[in-house]
Structure 1
Amino acid sequence: AAHAAEDTTCVGGSTSGPGNFLGLLMPLSSVDACSAMLAIEHSNLNDDSVVPEFASSVTPPLNITSLMKDTHGDPSTGVASYRALLSAGATTIVGAGQSSVTTPVALLSAHNVLPMVSYSSSSPALSGSGSDGLYSSFTRVFPSDRTIASFFFSVGIQLFGWEHYSILHVSDVYGRSYAEELVAASREPGGGRVMSQAAFASGDPYAAKLAVQHIKNMTYQGTMNDKGTASNIIVLVAHSIDLE
């Protein structure tokens, strides 16, 4: 997909054309929105200035129409936005970004037999449903947490010699699920060892500070089974607002 500059503010809206109708579920003012709108515009024009394949992908162009709705990271808002796009005539849904929003929407898209593609939802629960599964109309272009976790420790050990880990994660569904997948992967042959974990509420700087302090204390003290063994690396599972 085309990527807009990171310092660009793009208020999502709609593009018009007589052909395919994409319903977009993503933040209206974001790099994702800019990228999506730019990619659609370039596809409609067969403009290869960013994506070379657009020059010869389809002749004549697809003439994609799009309408964008913001879910605000809330499942109920996501469902309402999906229904609005469906009523407007969307023939395919792109989004949502967060698994907690994508999950209920993917159930509805399966019921309506409406293709749905997510660009960043990573919950393992959305995988492997098959044509007869709960999410039979859903696919994604982003790896699941389980896929990433299965490679994480082997790569860390083989390339960097990291054997002992601490996990610092947000306490929502995304953070808990990712941490669980990492712990499960650590138990596989050749996996690393998770020495400690700490969770914090997303968007709460004080809670994040306490969680970091907990990890720091455990790093110095070790655990009951590995007294004095320090973590080589801290794995942070968080949202962009928490990185500061």
Structure 2
Amino acid sequence: MLYMHDLWVNWFEGEENGYNVCRFHEWRKEDGIELIDQIPLLLVTEDMFNFIENDLQDLPPSFLQEIHRKTYMKKNQERHTVEYAAVVTDGQDVIVFDTLGYTLPVKKSRLIPRQERLVFEMVQGKKPKSYLIEESTKKEHHILSLEPAHMSGLTRRERQLKQLLMMALDQLKHSDHPEEVRYWLTEWDPGQYPYIKQLSIDEAWERLYEGTRNGWTPFHEDLCGKMVKGQAFFETIWQGENLDKSHHLNSQN
């Protein structure tokens, strides 16, 4: 078995979509970077890699058995054993995961570029190993888990704010004030006001969702900022992302 040593990781917990496991250039100073002392490296098929990167389902028992207690973390100079963790690659991309003792990839991380290149060098000329993935529930994308195409090309901040906007839209759909839907659709597309008046609440919501789920523009950001106003939980996320934006701008000046 191949092993890697002194690996820097930046865990993202409970992420079922690979686009939320940020690449190195999107890591932030406040992220909790950890050092792995030793961890197994496995070359797997594309299907298996995709299953780990873009899902949160039980991993094959044979795969778990192979990596069981072979990872060590160092904390305060003490070496701790990790139940199930590994670096996996399909030869095209790389991801690290830790199950936190469960049987699914709860925490995921990317690698720093130098260590990513080392992975590709280590597996060069080797054959990927196949594992039997149980007949699982087919993953479905929805408003709170958008398809990768709808997040493609966005920065970490834009993805976070887009998810926030989708959370606000989802809440709007189930709110006690359905008439608000037409108001927000008019905010989004004021030129269509005469037409919007004739739409049912459901039609108006669908139109708002269809219009906002593609890309990210200043119009998306403006709508998001207005929709989360006065909602403590949403506002905290909004302020956190905008604080990060100002830090980023200051560091560039």
Structure with the largest fraction of helix: 2
Please confirm whether the aligned pair reaches a TM-score higher than 0.5, indicating the same fold. no
* TM-score normalised per structure 1: 0.24
Q: Which one scores higher on RCO, CA 8 angstroms, separation ≥ 6? A: 2
